[in-house]
């Protein structure tokens, strides 16, 4: 393979967003640096891919810390981690021909090389029939991707919804929460959302079909969440933590379940919050109400993916599940996009459009 091959012409620069410092508290744009490198060359059994859509997710904040976790941190000077939808530019494996689109954690960069066996083909070159197919590829990072699977597994396997129960979902209009609430609705639950603005609450009720939604920034939040749940809470899908959890805790019914997906209100903390030790209060509530609280990491549940994808595809085709995407344009805007997600300024699944869909 030569640098004069047709697939590499006019594509000699690979922009990469790297992590140059570990943030203390909220990430800053200065924690990242945009570099230019040569486009990598694929070896035997590998694919050269051009990033089209880049997923921006809250878990990325944890990967910026040099701390023990379920996954290794991004090295200083390394390319920021992130899942993407990318076009195969050159293939050295028959499983994905040039012109196909794949899903892979290629990171914050224009081009990447991956082993073909590790990439998921979402659209073969031979299946590229119309523009609408290409424009919907981003949903494989959201409703048909990791956030959708997270919602599906967390609610159904841990939350175990039953008809007539009350389900409360924090971050209700986000990539995970919006799907949790809609799946809960399909299982006969009364669904209450918690979101960060009146506009988001209106969307949860009028578009997603939630029964009610409460703005956690309201001075009346404690009163409003209690009023929205007159019969208590049977399932609380936890994405946020903080005051939302504190005000949900007294409303939990006997035998309630908490799928613990995340706690975005804690991600930028540099020290423990001020105030008294609330662990005894939490522990007593969990004990007296016989609450099941279970944390989960979605990478442990890939065996559920085939069932999830089949059901989600049917729900989307039937129009029973809605989803919203929040786009930023250009790789250089990825740091700002992550900052927005961590501060709650996104509205829907955050995706960066890195390249053109061709």
What is the tens place of the pLDDT at every residue in 63-110?
999 888 888 899 999 999 999 999 999 999 999 999 999 999 999 999
Whole-angstrom Cα distance, residue 42 to residue 62? 30
Q: Would you say 201 and 171 are in contact if contact means Cβ atoms under 8 Å apart?
A: no
The CB density around residue 18, as the number of other CB atoms within 10 Å, is 20
Q: Would you say 153 and 308 are in contact if contact means Cβ atoms under 8 Å apart?
A: yes
Tokens of residue 217, six digits: 């920034």
Residues near 280 by beta carbon (within 8 Å), at least 6 away in sequence: none
Confidence of residue 36 (pLDDT cuts 50, 70, 90): very high
Q: Would you say 234 and 259 are in contact if contact means Cβ atoms under 8 Å apart?
A: no
Residue 130 has pLDDT above 70, yes or no: no
Q: Which pLDDT belongs to residue 63? A: 93
Residue 24 has pLDDT above 80, yes or no: yes
- Report which listed range, 63-67, 171-175, 278-282, is most confident: 171-175
Task: Match 């995407």 to its residue by tokens.
Answer: 325
Question: Residue 236 phi/psi, 5° resolution?
Answer: -120, 115
CA atoms within 13 A on the CB side of 73: 16
* Burial class of residue 233 in the structure, from the number of CB atoms within 10 Å of its CB (0-12 exposed, 13-18 middle, 19+ buried): buried
Average pLDDT, the chain: 92
Out of 1.20.1260.10, 3.90.180.10, 3.30.2010.30, 3.30.300.30, which CATH number does the structure's domain 6-142+324-353 have? Answer: 3.90.180.10
- Give the CATH superfamily of 146-299: NAD(P)-binding Rossmann-like Domain (3.40.50.720)
Work out the average pLDDT over 333-341: 96
Whole-angstrom Cα distance, residue 253 to residue 248? 10
Q: Would you say 265 and 123 are in contact if contact means Cβ atoms under 8 Å apart?
A: no
- Give span(s): CATH 3.40.50.720, the chain: 146-299
Which pTM value belongs to this model?
0.92
- Report which listed range, 59-63, 211-215, 273-277, is most confident: 211-215
- Give span(s): CATH 3.90.180.10, the chain: 6-142+324-353
């Amino acid at each position: 393979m030569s640098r004069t091959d047709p697939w590499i012409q006019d594509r000699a620069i690979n922009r990469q967003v790297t992590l140059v410092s570990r943030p203390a508290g909220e990430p800053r744009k200065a924690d990242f640096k945009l570099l230019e490198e040569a486009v990598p060359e694929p070896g035997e059994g590998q694919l050269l891919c051009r990033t089209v859509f880049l997923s921006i997710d809250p878990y990325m904040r944890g990967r910026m810390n040099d701390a023990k976790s379920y996954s290794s941190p991004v090295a200083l000077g390394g390319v920021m981690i992130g899942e993407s939808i990318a076009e195969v530019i050159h293939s050295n494996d028959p499983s994905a021909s040039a012109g196909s689109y794949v899903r892979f954690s290629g990171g914050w960069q224009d081009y990447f090389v991956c082993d073909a066996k590790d990439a998921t083909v979402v659209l073969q070159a031979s299946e590229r029939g119309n523009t609408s197919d290409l424009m919907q590829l981003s949903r494989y990072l959201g409703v048909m991707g990791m956030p959708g699977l997270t919602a599906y597994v967390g609610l159904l396997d841990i939350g175990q919804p039953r008809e007539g129960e009350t389900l409360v979902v924090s971050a209700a209009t986000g990539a995970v929460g919006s799907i949790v609430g809609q799946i809960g609705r399909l299982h006969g639950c009364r669904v209450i959302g918690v979101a960060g603005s009146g506009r988001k609450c209106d969307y949860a009720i009028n578009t997603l079909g939630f029964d009610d939604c409460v703005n956690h920034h309201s001075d009346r939040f404690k009163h409003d969440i209690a009023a929205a749940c007159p019969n208590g809470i049977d399932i609380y899908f936890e994405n946020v933590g903080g005051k939302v959890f504190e005000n949900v805790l007294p409303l939990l019914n006997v035998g309630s379940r908490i799928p613990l997906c995340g706690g975005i209100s804690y991600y930028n903390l540099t020290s423990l919050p001020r105030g008294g030790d609330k662990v005894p209060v939490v522990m007593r509530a969990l004990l007296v109400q016989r609450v099941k609280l279970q944390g989960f990491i979605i990478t442990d549940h890939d065996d559920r993916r085939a069932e999830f994808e089949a059901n989600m595809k049917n729900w989307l085709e039937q129009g029973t599940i809605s989803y919203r995407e929040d786009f930023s344009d250009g790789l250089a805007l990825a740091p700002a996009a992550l900052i927005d997600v961590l501060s709650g300024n996104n509205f829907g699944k955050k995706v960066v459009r890195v390249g053109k869909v061709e």
